[in-house]
Amino acid sequence: MGGLVIDLYVGFLARWIILIWRGRRSRDWPAVAGLVTSAHFEKPGYGGDYVLLRYCFKVNDESFDGEIRKPYFNENYANAFARRHADRELKVRVNPEHSEQSFPELG
């Protein structure tokens, strides 16, 4: 049981570190319009629970997709986040040198 608890905390922390790192790395990239294509809560059983948010955007008439995994301990908060972002327009920061690299502004 103790290993499972540690796994949840490590997974939660790792996902947050990745989100923070990706957000800081992308803060100077130009923003384009994007759209959330899906957002739902996932319980993988290891590494902690998260909301998987998928989005799409266009750069120079070329379509791209992206996704993030936002960690949550509480399923109610996770589902509220997913409902709030479902089918929502958002800004997406895009790497000007590699358009396939992006990060959404979740506000």
Please write the tens of the pLDDT for every residue from 45-95.
777 889 999 999 999 999 999 999 999 988 999 999 999 998 899 999 999
For 82-96, b/e burial (b = at least 16 CB within 10 A) is beebeebebbbbbbe
Token pair, residue 4, equals 């499972």
For 37-59, b/e burial (b = at least 16 CB within 10 A) is eebebeeeeeebbbbebebebeb
- Indicate the DSSP class of residue 87: T
Kindly tell me if the per-residue pLDDT of 22 is higher than 60: yes
Domain boundaries, the chain: 2-105
The pTM assigned to this predicted structure is: 0.87
Asked whether the beta carbons of 63 and 56 are under 8 A apart, the reply is yes
Bridge-partner residues for 66, per DSSP? Answer: 55
